[in-house]
Amino acid sequence: MRKASAAPAASGERQRSRDGGPLPAAKRLWQLQEAPDPVVEAYTTGEDPALDSALLRYEALGTLAHARGLERIGILSRKECLSLRNCFRTLLRREGFTILPSQEDIHTAVEQHLTAKLGELGRKVHAGRSRNDQVQTDIRLMLKDRLLSIHAAAVSAARRWARFGERHRKALMPGYTHLQRAMPTTVGHWAASHAEALIEGCRGLRWAFEEADACPLGSAAGFGVTLPLDRAFVARLLGFSRIQRNTLRVQTSRPRLEAAALSALALLARDLGTLSWDICLFSTAEFGFMSLDSAFTTGSSIMPQKRNPDVAELTRARAALFPGWLSQALSLGQLPSGYHRDYQMTKGPLLRALGTMGEMLEIVGRIPAALTVRPERCRAAVTEDMLAAQRAMELVRSGVPFREAYQRIAAQSRKLGEPKTARAPVLPKFPGSPGNPGWAAMERDAARERSWAALRRAALDKAWNRLL
């Protein structure tokens, strides 16, 4: 289903249903009599009408599970639950679902839709819920869904970079520290380092997923309700592995949860930024180690000869946005116990980070097929001076203490003129080293990540398909 954006509308504007009938005038779930001041209304609503369109599916799932819970304790009938499900099925098939600014958020918009279609049932389904645990449920369901998609994209990108590295496993190139030539390595070893970074990022995403995998429904505004809600039952319906037990902690934990997801995304983004930096650097004329296909570059508006690595540069720039989004979530979380409206402001950074990471991984996963290695340029840059550590280790093997060997080789190096291309560098062969990056181990790591994600995706699909 295509995500719909919220269209501008004046306060009090009425929507019309598919059959042409008007929906009730927008009235917030908390509103009693007086209409809010329009300036205050716009200020407090903020971005929610636009952002909340991304939560429609998760709002539907949470509402249906809650309805089943109300059926379990005799507040709704089975027939009413089926009516709700059919209504949501129709709604989710529609394109163009709009949240009016006067409706404030997804919760009011959906309840008004249900009331317009189902009458009194639309007003009954909110029993035992607060918008506070509704939005928490929506966010946690959305996080589980989106994190699994991002995880899959990261695993795919890792495998592509590993295969790229294996193709270039024998291509010698300089390894750098402080941007200075240090020791010989291979293009394969360099690519494998980025593949491993992506796998490490997957483990961070797993942690964030597990943090989100706790059902908040039934906590209401932080203190529960006197209805005998079966929270564990509703959690199982939604595919959560557990409930978030303490109802007050549910509300206080929201910015922490979002910060956990943003932390995992920020760490992954940092590594994608490093990869992008490398590509920008190694594709310069001064290095000339590799080049990007024309589809991944742009030209200059004045210099006809230039091709610029804009894709890599913009990936690097996007990576720089994540610490700011994380900082927002962490700062907004420094409040007393309980719900605060401040928490509304964490939704935007979270959704932007999830969307941006998806875009970045799509590009990063496509770069290996568009990257041409120039092995002769790489090899020519591996010079004799870079073998100093290798020669020191040869003296050590002959019995010379390391510090003495270090001094001898350093003295010899100072006497050398312009270094020439090295003839026969020897590469370490232990697992993970330039001579043995460990392709089989990387594939096993990727397989473990795929298996973990497949189990959780299957469980989610099974639970959600049953509800819908």
**What amino acid positions are annotated as catalytic residues?**
178, 300
How far, CA to CA in Å, does 398 sit from each of 377, 385, 402, 412, 428?
A: 34, 21, 11, 18, 18
* Burial status of residue 9 (CB atoms within 10 A of its CB: 0-12, 13-18, 19 or more): middle
Residue 228 and residue 215: Cα distance in Å, rounded?
17
Q: Which residue type, as a one-letter code, is found at position 77?
A: S
How far, CA to CA in Å, does 78 sit from each of 69, 99, 128, 454?
A: 11, 29, 18, 32
Residue 316 and residue 191: Cα distance in Å, rounded?
17
Alpha-carbon dihedral 390, 391, 392, 397, rounded to 10 degrees:
90
Q: What is the distance of C-alpha 300 from the center of its chain? A: 33
> Which residues does residue 308 pair with via DSSP β-bridges, in sequence order?
298
15 within 8 A of 22, measured Cβ to Cβ? yes
